Amino acid sequence: MSTDCLFCRIAKGEIPAQVVYRTPTAIAIRDINPQAPVHLLVIPLEHVETLNDTADAEFLGSLLVAAREVARRERLDLKGYRVVVNNGVEAGQTVPHLHLHVLGGRAMRWPPG
């Protein structure tokens, strides 16, 4: 945990968020600035900055499993949805605490900007 990290503080309940799902190791919240009708963030409770910082397959796998579960709960699984991890500056990562975006509820374009 990092005391000055936004997502650590949300994970600890110090900053309010709309939590839609919890596992022992992660939470899923609604993004404050949604880019699609459904825009969720899967956030591990453990502070890991980016994908560069861990190769723990169980940890990373658990985040993907949480992403598919929230997509299913939001009924995105039939029509489709996108799971995005922005890593570092050029990818547009703004919060340095690893998180998965789950986006759905509209048609997506490719390639992403």
Closest Cα partner for 52 from 25, 23, 86?
A: 86
70 within 8 A of 31, measured Cβ to Cβ: no
Told to check if 63 binds Zn ion by CB under 5 A, we report: no
Q: Which residues bind ligand 5GP (CB under 6 A)?
A: 6, 17, 29-33, 41, 86, 92-95
Q: Tokens 């880019």 appear where?
A: 35
Is residue 97 part of the annotated active site? The answer reads: no
Q: What's the min distance (Å) between Cβ of 55 and ligand 5GP?
A: 20
38 within 8 A of 76, measured Cβ to Cβ: yes
Told to check if 97 binds Zn ion by CB under 5 A, we report: yes
Window 19-48: contact mask with Zn ion (x via CB under 5 A): ----------------------------x-
